[in-house]
Amino acid sequence: MNVALDHADANLLGRLVQVWNSRKARNLERTVRFDGEAALRDFGISLPPQMRNIGALLGWTAKGVRAVTDRSEFDGFVSPSGGEDAFGLDQIQFENRFAVEFGAAKVSSAIHGTSFLTVSEGDTQSGEPEIMMLARTAETSAAIWDPRRRALAGFLSVIDTNDQGQITRGIMWTPEKVLTFTRQQRGYKVEGRPNKIGRTSVAPLVHGFNLGRPLGTSRITGASMYFSDAALRSIVRAEVSSEFYSAPEYWLFGADVSQFAGGDRWNAIMGRIKALDVDPADPKSPQLHRFTGASPQPHTEQLRMWQSLFADDQDLEVQFADSSNPSSADAIFAAKESLITKTRDGNKMWGFGAVQAMQFSVMLRDGLTEVPSEMMRLSAQFTDPAIVSPTARADAYVKLSSVDPAFAASRVGRQYAGLTSEQITLLEAEQRRLASAQLTEALRTAGPNAPTEAGASAGEDELNQANILKAKADALGVLRRAGVEADEAANRVGLPGLKFIPGSPITIKQSDD
């Protein structure tokens, strides 16, 4: 419905627009650098006019960002009880393509320092999901942080702008309401609805959190930008130098200089044959001398220097700066250790934002104003960024399983062994299918009234009864390991009244009596 902005909302909107305008240029610059489209910054000294518009590009910035985000792999949410989808999050994730868009939001967070997940009610009549979760980049967003509440005091999403860069449509979230404003010929049309959960339903995905910058810092640092610019200039200078090195110069002594002078200074410099006047009284004829151009090796060494500085700033592997010589195992491990630490720090903050977005979604879906107590312990799970070889994982898995057999068949153990959540789910489903088939066959062949062979001796009858009892016991064990309550499982297999010794995991042991 149409509403009028009160003084507080108008003041908050003005602050958000100011934040967006002040950060717009820096965010755009980092986006351009990540895309590898940053223009060459020439000092106007060493490049000829013909090469100042050269389309030289460098992909170092994207490599520095991807070094962290590619190691961060989201593996799902873990509930306090350990149950699967205890809060109905699978449907929310599926309807909002969470697995795909969350990965893109992490990359945007590393580029600009933060990205956002907005949560709102969807228009189901137009085909939107009941809970709409959208990822927003810092380029099209502005946020104000409330340090006392440790939450967003307000958030602005810029939906559209005109040719003059003015906002023509946007959405503002506050703890009390959600306002949509559209630019018209005179002023703005504002529509609003109450915020049902009583808080700004926007979760920031922060990279590089610190107290001075609670909304994060960019992975694209000022130092890395300078190193990339300098390296790009070195590459272009090397290309100019190669023009001289690939074609040696020839000097002709005793010729008329006017026949060889270029139309401009650069053409004269680039001329392959240069003339030098001599004394006309000299009886010697003109002589041709060859001079080899300077080697491009200094430019190569300089480029390697910039590579080393960039790799040190971005915690990249040693091979990035020098791939000609293989590095030692300790050097490679040391370089990866710092990158692994940064990835784990990123996962912690990204996971916190993802959990917060899911909490907002459940609250909005269920009409709650507080986070459910069971959901306060919900956590986001990521694969271990310390990527090791499959052989090393398998060896560690075998050693831990020999010490703790329960570890081998647990989800934790299988994840440690390197299996993905999808693979573990399929394996558990296959195990349940096989256990169910074995149980059905055991009950079919060893029912409570299974007949013995006609004329069998008393010893054979006792043996048959023992086999029947063993089959029932095996079936009971399958049911108990599947989670069936003890008395119910005993009744199902035809052993009512069976007494169980308390203990977990389930074991067969003799009582103290």
Task: Render pLDDT for 237-290 as a digit per residue (tens, 0 to 9).
Answer: 777 776 665 555 555 555 555 555 555 444 544 454 455 555 555 555 555 555
Task: Render pLDDT for 172-191 as a digit per residue (tens, 0 to 9).
Answer: 999 999 999 998 888 888 88
Higher pLDDT, 299 or 160: 160
Structure confidence at residue 265 (pLDDT): 45
Structure confidence at residue 76 (pLDDT): 86
pLDDT of 438 over the 90 cut: no
Task: Render pLDDT for 489-503 as a digit per residue (tens, 0 to 9).
Answer: 888 888 888 877 665
Task: Render pLDDT for 123-146 as a digit per residue (tens, 0 to 9).
Answer: 888 889 999 999 999 999 999 999
- Reported confidence tier of residue 419, pLDDT bands at 50, 70, 90: confident
Structure confidence at residue 141 (pLDDT): 95
Structure confidence at residue 140 (pLDDT): 93
Report the pLDDT averaged over residues 71-76. 88
Task: Render pLDDT for 96-112 as a digit per residue (tens, 0 to 9).
Answer: 999 899 999 999 999 99
Structure confidence at residue 360 (pLDDT): 95
Residues whose CB falls within 8 Å of the CB of residue 382, separated by 6 or more in sequence, listed in order: 72, 73, 74, 75, 347, 351
Least confident of 258-267, 277-286, 385-394, 399-408: 258-267
Q: To the nearest whole percent, how much of the chain has pLDDT over 90?
A: 31
Structure confidence at residue 506 (pLDDT): 46
Count of other CB atoms within 10 angstroms of residue 134: 15
Structure tokens at 480: 């108990």
Query: What is the amino acid identity at position 105?
Result: A
Structure confidence at residue 499 (pLDDT): 77
CB 173 within 8 Å of CB 118 = yes
- Reported confidence tier of residue 453, pLDDT bands at 50, 70, 90: very low
Which range scores top for mean pLDDT: 53-57, 224-228, 233-237, 372-376?
224-228
Task: Render pLDDT for 4-36 as a digit per residue (tens, 0 to 9).
Answer: 778 889 999 999 999 999 999 999 999 989 988
Q: Tokens 């104003």 label which residue?
A: 369
Alpha carbon distance 216, 152 (integer Å): 13
pLDDT of 428 over the 80 cut: no
Report the pLDDT averaged over residues 147-154. 93
Nearest to 361 by CA among 154, 183, 132: 132
- Reported confidence tier of residue 37, pLDDT bands at 50, 70, 90: confident
Q: Across all residues in the chain, what is the average pLDDT?
A: 79
Coil vs helix vs strand at 400 = helix
Coil vs helix vs strand at 439 = helix
Task: Render pLDDT for 468-489 as a digit per residue (tens, 0 to 9).
Answer: 787 787 777 777 766 778 888 8
β-strand 273-276 against 74-78: which pairing, if any?
Answer: unpaired
Structure confidence at residue 151 (pLDDT): 93
pLDDT of 350 over the 90 cut: yes
pLDDT of 293 over the 90 cut: no
Give the C-alpha distances (Å, rounded to integers) separating 249 from 99, 253, 257: 61, 13, 15
pLDDT of 466 over the 90 cut: no
